[in-house]
Structure 1
Amino acid sequence: MTAQLPNPRMHDPAKPTLELIQVLNLEEEEVDRQMRICNSCRYCEGFCAVFPAMTRRLEFGKADIHYLANLCHNCGACLHACQYAQPHEFAVNVPQAMAKVRGQTYAEYAWPSLFGRLYRHNGTYVVSALAVALSLFLLLTLFMNGTLLPGRLAGNFYAIFPHNTLALMFGSVFAAASLALIIALRRFWRSVSPADALGKPAKGAVLEASSAVLTLKYLDGGHGQGCNNTDDRYTLWRRRFHHFTFYGFMLCFAATAVATGYHYLLGLQAPYALLSAPVLLGTLGGIGLIVGPAGLLVMNFRRSPEQGDVAQRPMDRAFILLLLLVSATGLALLGLRDTAAMAILLAIHLGTVMALFITLPYGKFAHGLFRSAALLKFTIEKRRPDNLGLGGE
């Protein structure tokens, strides 16, 4: 079908205005072009948050495009429902166009700015090499100290690495990574949500955005049947594997927090019993970080190239593999902590955790924070009057 869309809001649905071409790069220009077409059609308005947010705009500047790109969950429903997708001459593919811009936003708002280049090279081999290098460094340290094979230490990790040394090393790296993420997120928020445009978020908006984040609301394809992965068939497994991954990560974080409280507040020293809160939380989290990332990795390899940006797959897979390494080495360490292999397993596990911390601000992890910010903007924005009278939620 090649008929021209009736469109009272734009001059040519297939071409952005000259002014916008001058300020947008090619990927952003493509999102602008496609959003103008979608704004005329609106068939997908109920699919996710992107399309109601789109209808509030007549034009799509850089900030709008960055906002919409991070609001997109790449479920793929709009691609398979679109009558203007290829082979139509308009060649609309919103998930792919959004994914390309989304990857750019991570690099553009990264802090320090120079480190934004790491996104271009954050592939499987880079992160894996970092994990291996750190593990080998720790193994070498153990060897130099003569504690590589210390015999049975009844799970006493601190007989190999003193608690304060580990706390200082990992606490410093995690604090630096958190600072970089916070500043990047602040840059993104200030760019897409000027203070005079949104103001302070209402409690209801924060709660709604939090609910959308915690339930992964927009990974249901807008109809509750799930995402498209390999073709136009729907599946909820992408959403489920994301839940395993997210809550597995949070359980592991909770285990660390509880263990810290045990150590500093209660004076209870590790190792902790198998039925203690830190061990139970860590075990459940580790299982979640095996099931979730393993499922996501399989789905990533099977995913249609039309769904998203193929160039970002190395970064996606690197993060997934690193999570798998952290969880697998952690569970192995727990299971074999009373054996002579404990020191080697501890060094490998700490190396992978350190690699994860170092790469958090410059890898796939950032997408969760940027998407959460975009969802908050959406819930704030839709509570405000639509002065353009264009519709939407």
Structure 2
Amino acid sequence: MTIGSTSRAALSTCALCAAGLLVLAPAATAARTAPDPGATGGPRVAGPQPSLLDRPGTQVRPRAGAPRVPRVSALSWVVADAGTGEVLAARDAHRRLPPASTLKTLFALTVLPVLPGGVRHTVRKDELRGIGPGSSLVGVAEGRTYRVSDLWRGVFLNSGNDAVHVLAELSGGWRSTAARMQAKARSLGALDTRVLSPDGYDTPGQVSSAHDLAVFGRAGLRSAEFTRYCGTVRARFPGGHGWSYVIQNTNRLLTGSDGVEPYRGLVGVKNGYTSKAGHTLIAAARRGGRTLVVTVMNPRSGGGFAVYEEARALLDWGFGAAGRVDPVGSLDALRVRPRPGPEVRPAAVTPTEDDDYASGWPTTGAIAGAALGGAAVTALLLRPRIRRSAGS
């Protein structure tokens, strides 16, 4: 299989634009940062409150009439608004714990963009080496041909480590994938996460946190492809010779299987389990135009399905607490922000679809306008001289 790379067009530099930029950019910046004279003497807006996410125990800032945070047994959990990134409540949000298969969300964030779903691939024997004993499998077989989209359904629905191994090999190899996942986590501000096994298999030293898993879940929901996969209840998986079999999502809060009542408005995202990590879950639900993401790590009581019931209780609380609590932190607080540049993105991209675009637009627009204006002025000043030179 050959994976093509997209070449980048070379950018030329215009001396006139640079001159105009140097002349006018300070003025544009000053105009953006200067205080509004009309605001003098007006009411001051309170600054953001300090984050409580580094503090141990349950953290919440309730207002009058806010519902009480439910008591759950998980070692760590987070309730956050997927739209704004505000954390409504949390317990030991940065506690580092084994993530189990919820780490596959970071794998998908890293690999989905580079592997088109329609590509067909025949699995080789070496691509299935190194799968840990006791791993969850979807049934990928050597010598059988699959579409990449089939393999992704195997990852999201059956949590198939065999599918992860094949996709990782297609995207550069096991170690390379782990390294890129680590870099992706850092860029998203997920600083508690250490990636050693891209499938989430128990590996000494591999950890994440409720904060980081919420970051991964929220980032995934910005991708239509990710959201479609994580919200799929059932699909057919190729079995060879034209035969296929049904696979079902193991997220019981989505499917309602094994006696767990499905959660109204649930979007997805991913559950996990290992003997070391216990049960882990990232769950997102949407109601009334608002989407919440909840992470639950290792409930200490209530049996194997407690992770779903504790997530249910936290989601219910989060929807009921809308407008009645102040945030205790943000999922964006540690995120690496790209440096602003002169490139203007297409107008079709709206702030609600890309927060970075929304936050970077005023600076970018001012600089771009300064560059164009400066180039025009400089060109006008130089025009007579250019004409005289041409006529000599």
TM range, smaller chain: under 0.3
Larger Rg: 2
TM-score, normalising length: structure 2: 0.25
Higher strand share: 2
